[in-house]
Amino acid sequence: MFIKQLYTQCLSEAAYYIENGGEAAIIDPMRDTEVYLQLAKERKAAIKYIFETHFHADFVSGHVDLSRQTGAPIIYGPETVTAFPVHVAADGEVFSLGDSSIEVLHTPGHTLESTCYLLKDAKGKAEAIFTGDTLFVGDVGRPDLSSGDMTSEELAAILYESLQHKILPLADDVVVYPAHGAGSSCGKNLGPNTHSTIGEERRTNYALQPLSKEDFIRVVTTGLNEAPRYFSINARINQEGYLPLDSVKSKGLTPLSAAAVATAMQSTAAILLDTREAPVFADGFIPGSIFIGLEGRFAEWAGSLLPFDSPLILVTEPGKEEESLVRLARVGFEKIIGYLDGGFDAWRTAGKPIDMLVNVDADELAMDIPHDNNLLVVDVRREAEFADGHVKNAVNLPLDEMTDVAQLARFDDHQNLYLHCAGGYRSVIAASLFKRQGLHNIRNVNGGWAEIKTQDRIKVVKEASALN
């Protein structure tokens, strides 16, 4: 038996390759499928099944492309309805893989079609369970992402039954392989590890402790952050299908001259997305472009901040064009019409206008606060981060709320806006959005909150909610 977890860090997503007797199964593949095809080729195995644990909301699965490339069926659990051919498995249905087997365990609650897959050896002993978003390390799937008409409390009640009757009866030594690790928005408190055991989760997972159904519902529905706005879009794409990735590449990897980019920005209202590193972007960028750097949670922020119905043009470090496109495609972007050939240097060489972002250190902010009546600190961290400590009199505008033009309209250009986040990545994204909106009196605080809180001269406070 061979099991390989294939983890995509920027989306905190785990796909799985399982192989036995020359037959392989893929669970929850990413949209870029080459890694699974190459692994099967190297191991001289044939991909026999593609298992999906549910309609993923945080990324576009590779199930449709991989099935087309291999002929393997796409298998979902009960209560699944799709716009493309799949095998809807019955609860308890068994699929052979060499002399091992994979049993379907329908575990609704995160979504109604959510299903786990229990891997058994040749003797029928349960070895591992692939839990999707039903069970994480230290957490369970949030019950508020269903596209149906059920409340989160109703889904939490169903999840409670799934855990009690399908998960908790398993032996302590069964390995737990979830679909996500820490950083994912599909849960609220995922642990740092990417796999565990039933015994470990029974001991440490707050949601698997002896709780009444009422207490369980209360615990798992409390403290949920608002889901990223692209989640519903990705869930629909996974249910309805999508363009082959090769088609997205064939159009999106079209090189465009600086003149062609300028024309496209005027004639098609194309959005220019700059994926270079934050310090490089700050030193010079195309006016009106939006920065989302590859070094951070790139796809997640792109899905949260960019419209899916507008054409995109990429500005990247030379050689990073395909990586930028693929990572966008992972969260459903398909209207990529090309990239700036030669990158930002080609734009500058062509004599086109450029803009820059002023970076300041935290000690400069400390010196400016007492002497500038127009100074306003804008903290773009999430509300919980802000509540746990922030600059006195700072305004909290979480980055994921900056798609609302009315939020940006609260500010005017006579204000000296000092932007910061935790470390500097999100604040540069925010600065590009402010500048795109016509606000240019912007300064980005290097090092963000991590540096600001070390300054004795800057008054910091906590919200009452963080003190309780």
Contact 114, 107 (CB under 8 A): yes
Contact 384, 426 (CB under 8 A): no
Instruction: Give dist(CA 266, CA 288) in Å, integer.
Output: 11
Tens-digit pLDDT profile for residues 279-327 = 999 999 999 999 999 999 999 999 999 999 999 999 999 999 999 999 9
CATH numeric code, 2-233: 3.60.15.10
The answer to whether the 243-349 and 358-467 domains have the same CATH topology is yes
Ordered by start, the domain boundaries in the chain are: 2-233, 243-349, 358-467
CATH superfamily name and code, 243-349: Rhodanese-like domain (3.40.250.10)
pLDDT score recorded for residue 226: 85
Instruction: Give dist(CA 456, CA 365) in Å, integer.
Output: 12
Write down the mean pLDDT value for the chain.
95
pLDDT score recorded for residue 407: 84
Amino acid at 314: L
pLDDT score recorded for residue 317: 97
Q: State yes or no: pLDDT of 195 exceeds 70.
A: yes
CA 75 to chain centre: 24
- What is the assigned CATH class of domain 358-467? alpha beta
Residues recorded for the chain: 468
Q: State yes or no: pLDDT of 25 exceeds 60.
A: yes
425-436 and 298-305 helices cross at what angle (nearest 10)?
A: 30
Distance between first and last Cα of the chain: 50
Tens-digit pLDDT profile for residues 236-265 = 999 999 999 999 999 999 999 999 999 999
Q: Which of 384, 374, 383, 389 is nearest to 448 (CA)?
A: 389
Name the pLDDT band for 53 (thresholds 50, 70, 90).
Answer: very high
298-305 and 321-329 helices cross at what angle (nearest 10)?
A: 60
Tens-digit pLDDT profile for residues 156-166 = 999 999 999 99
Tens-digit pLDDT profile for residues 124-162 = 999 999 999 999 999 999 999 875 788 999 999 999 999
pLDDT score recorded for residue 466: 54
Q: State yes or no: pLDDT of 426 exceeds 90.
A: yes
Amino acid at 280: V
pLDDT score recorded for residue 145: 85
The whole-model pTM stands at 0.94
Contact 104, 94 (CB under 8 A): yes
Neighbour count for residue 210 (Cβ, 10 Å): 6
Q: Which of 120, 125, 136 is nearest to 177 (CA)?
A: 136
Tens-digit pLDDT profile for residues 202-239 = 999 999 999 999 999 999 999 888 889 899 999 999 99
Tens-digit pLDDT profile for residues 267-282 = 888 999 999 999 999 9
Q: State yes or no: pLDDT of 174 exceeds 60.
A: yes
Name the pLDDT band for 467 (thresholds 50, 70, 90).
Answer: very low
pLDDT score recorded for residue 189: 83
The more confident residue out of 12 and 463 is 12
